[in-house]
Amino acid sequence: MRLRVEFTTEPFDLDEAPPHAVVARDIVTGAALDAVDVGPFGNTAEGDADRVLGAVHALLRETLQAGATRVSLQVNVIADAGHGEGEAT
């Protein structure tokens, strides 16, 4: 199964990335995920379910420890090649 995670961490700082945002970026870029897109207002990554869920676990734990006061995230099942979205493989 493949998953897509979309997330943001708060509080925002438009002048420079706060420590929790840097931690989040490091986690998703270091997790061997596909299609990683890190931006100032939202972040996305895709990959194998085990890798995405492992990254989400680390993301929650480490960004909160680094000062995040809120982590908003959404996880979606995305279609594997040859399967419809949300179908079991």
Distances (CA, A) of 38 to 23, 27, 33, 73: 12, 11, 12, 14
Q: Residues in the chain, how many?
A: 89
Cβ distance 4 to 45 under 8 Å? yes
Beta strands per DSSP E along the chain: 2-10, 34-38, 43-48, 70-78
At 37, phi and psi to the nearest 5?
-135, 110
The pLDDT of residue 30: 94
What tens digit of pLDDT does each residue of 53-64 get? 999 999 999 999
What tens digit of pLDDT does each residue of 20-76 get? 999 999 999 999 998 899 887 789 999 999 999 999 999 999 999 999 999 999 999
CA distance linking residue 28 with residue 88, whole number of Å: 25
pTM of the model: 0.83
